[in-house]
Amino acid sequence: MDCFAMWRRTRMVTLTAVCAAIYAAVLIPTQVFPLIPGSTNLRPGSAIAIVLSLLFGPAGAWGVAFGNTLNDLFGTFGPGTWFGFFGNFLLGLIPYKLWTAWNGGPLPPAGGRGWLVFVPAVIIASAACALVIGWGLHILGFVPFAALGPIIFLNNSLFGLVLGPPLLAALAPRVRAWGITYDELLDESEKTPGVLARPASVLVAAAALGGLALGVYLSAGVHGQALFRAEPRVTGVRSIGLGLFPIIAVLVLATMLL
């Protein structure tokens, strides 16, 4: 996969560090707007994850993961940070993977086909991030999935869809002129999607969106856990843990085929 091959390229490693710094810098100030104290906050900066993904590919994915970890050091660092790392890695990985598999054209999205790829890519990546983090913090006993999962999904998808396009329109021409987009830094063999990329993308979408819906159902529907309440209780740790694990495994395996 290109997200591992990129570590052999100095410029991609440098871009990873730059992306991490940028993402942390836009997230840290919003720590003062908690939605669930100690777990998540208002994150308009999540739109940056989409932008970094589409511009810098695997460097953006790793940068988003490391940047979120740096952000956690300023208020929410703990066992859940590991799930935050992986969830944000998917948030930075899936958009450019789906873009490459289905469009492969210049950025920012131009015309109907571009938007037909961009919009679902943001939604699917947001759902995958919410699924992993919501599952992780639920099985740790911190926050019920029904409360955390939808908040993360809405945070990422709404800001990504609203702020992502103008940011891409402003930044993409400049970044491409500098010659540092991922498609200019990687070899053709590293950036070309495999023959299974499109079928795998359908599986990724089904696992991310279906897993998120199932997690909310198991957490809120089966166990009577209100979606939002003053003192949410974490119940059904075993059913959430075991019920969603196969779906997350499918999500990971399908993502590796993109």
pTM: 0.90
Specify the pLDDT at position 74.
Answer: 82
Question: How many CB atoms are located within 10 Å of the residue 219 CB?
Answer: 31
Specify the pLDDT at position 233.
Answer: 54
Helices and strands (DSSP H and E) totals, the chain:
11, 2
Q: For tokens 């990129």, what's the residue?
A: 6
Specify the pLDDT at position 87.
Answer: 96
Specify the pLDDT at position 221.
Answer: 61
Specify the pLDDT at position 248.
Answer: 96
Specify the pLDDT at position 146.
Answer: 87
Low-confidence ranges of the chain (pLDDT < 70): 32-39, 41, 104-113, 221-236
**Secondary structure (DSSP) of 38-55:** TTEE--TTHHHHHHHHHH
Nearest to 12 by CA among 179, 196, 251, 124: 179
Alpha carbon distance 75, 39 (integer Å):
9
The angle subtended at Cα 218 by Cα 210 and Cα 242, nearest 5°, is: 80
Nearest to 43 by CA among 16, 64, 17, 63: 64
Specify the pLDDT at position 240.
Answer: 81
Specify the pLDDT at position 91.
Answer: 97
Alpha carbon distance 167, 164 (integer Å):
5
Specify the pLDDT at position 195.
Answer: 83
